[in-house]
């Protein structure tokens, strides 16, 4: 059941990201909705579910975007593996750590995606991309994590209710 919900949530997020985000930009950049959702789920749950969500989200992005197949899947899986190093279940269940670590993980995700595209023959001006795309998108993703993490946390509580202990 959880994986059907993951497919629905991430498929909808990927569809919104590749179709609507061109019209919903903030200072010329758009939110990486799939990345933020997968990152939040990984920090709420664990590496195994985070990798599954990363594969589902990456495949959805790969299928719906114009990039070579596998770029987003690889980038998301690598970032989710790094996210488990700072997983909030180990260090506490607050909102602060997911927000703090969204910025560098977002830089790594988009930087890795650009690197993969560059290796596949698409030219990249790295300094310009870093200043005009990577940093603003990382900031936007960090702000979005503050809004989306509590929602993902509530979704997790709904799907995995904890028994009351006395």
Residues 153, 144: Cα–Cα separation, whole Å: 14
pTM, entire model: 0.87
> Residues with Cβ < 8 Å from 10, sequence gap 6 or more?
34, 37, 38, 53, 56, 57, 60
Residues 75, 107: Cα–Cα separation, whole Å: 11
pLDDT digits 0-9 by tens, 86-133? 664 444 557 788 888 999 999 999 999 999 999 998 888 888 888 888
């Amino acid at each position: 059941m959880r994986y059907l919900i993951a497919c629905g949530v991430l498929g909808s997020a990927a569809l919104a990201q590749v179709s609507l985000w061109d019209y919903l930009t903030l200072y010329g950049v758009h939110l990486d909705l799939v990345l933020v959702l997968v990152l939040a789920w990984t920090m709420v749950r664990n590496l195994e579910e985070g990798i599954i969500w990363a594969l589902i989200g990456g495949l959805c992005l790969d299928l719906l975007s114009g990039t070579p197949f596998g770029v987003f899947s690889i980038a998301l899986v690598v970032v989710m593996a790094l996210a488990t190093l700072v997983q909030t279940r180990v260090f506490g269940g607050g909102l602060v750590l997911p927000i703090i670590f969204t910025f560098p993980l977002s830089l790594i995700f988009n930087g890795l995606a650009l690197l993969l595209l560059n290796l596949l023959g698409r030219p990249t001006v790295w300094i310009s991309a870093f200043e005009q795309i990577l940093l603003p998108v990382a900031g936007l993703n960090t702000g979005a994590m503050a809004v989306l993490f509590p929602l993902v946390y509530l979704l997790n509580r709904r799907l995995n209710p904890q028994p009351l202990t006395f």
